């Protein structure tokens, strides 16, 4: 798969280009981005359920890339493009208001304080996402790490570009029906770690 399928769906970001064009002319009505898709369970399910949406999946690790490629081939998913590196490299090339949804699901919490600067949720990332996510679009974040949950909420709320949609605890304790479970999430639950599901909308 790495030698055959990946070259066909590998993304080569072009600065300023409409991301819909990565999927062919008039093929998709919107583009969603998943940052760090792990083994790809969520991305594959979303792509299968939304064939008119183009999905850009970014994952630096080759093992996760290989696992998702198997799912793409098995389900014959034509609406997925992959990028094996840093998500910021893709985001920087996108025009303003280019994305209809972004997923940040169970990113590495980098729990040691000296490593917090490596966390993907940062003021810099919030600035970048605020630029490329269109008003009214949704950003989804999930974690099983209590410290990272507080960290992320502080930064999302302080930034001001994203409004948290939760009205009460059930809204962030329960995963929405259109939010497929990931393998990491299942392992966290099996280990007794509760998961938080945060949904934000671009103001």
Q: Catalytic site residues?
A: 108
For the chain, give the number of residues: 203
Q: Are 195 and 142 in contact (CB under 8 A)?
A: yes
Buried b (16+ CB within 10 A) or exposed e, 100-122: bbbbbbbbebbeeeeeeeebbbe
- CA–CA dist 169, 40 (Å, integer): 28
User: How crowded is the C-beta side of 155, counted as CA atoms within 13 Å?
Assistant: 19
User: How crowded is the C-beta side of 93, counted as CA atoms within 13 Å?
Assistant: 14
């Amino acid at each position: 798969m790495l030698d055959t399928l990946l070259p066909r769906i590998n993304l080569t970001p072009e600065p300023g280009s409409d991301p819909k064009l990565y999927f062919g002319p008039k093929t998709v009505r919107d583009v969603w981005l998943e940052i760090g898709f792990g083994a790809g369970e969520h991305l594959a399910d979303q792509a299968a359920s939304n064939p008119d949406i183009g999905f850009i999946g970014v994952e630096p690790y080759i093992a996760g890339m290989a696992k998702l490629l198997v799912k793409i081939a098995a389900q014959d998913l034509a609406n997925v493009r992959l990028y094996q590196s840093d998500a910021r490299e893709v985001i920087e090339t996108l025009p303003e208001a280019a994305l209809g949804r972004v997923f940040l699901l169970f990113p590495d919490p980098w729990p040691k304080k000296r490593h917090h600067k490596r966390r993907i949720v940062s003021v810099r990332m919030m600035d970048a996402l605020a630029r490329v996510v269109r008003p009214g679009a949704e950003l989804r974040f999930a974690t099983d790490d209590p410290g990272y949950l507080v960290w992320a909420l502080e930064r999302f709320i302080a930034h001001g570009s994203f409004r948290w949609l939760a009205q009460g605890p059930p809204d962030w304790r329960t995963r929405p029906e259109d939010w497929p479970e990931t393998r990491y999430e299942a392992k966290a639950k099996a280990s007794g770690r509760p998961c938080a599901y945060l949904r934000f909308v671009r103001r």
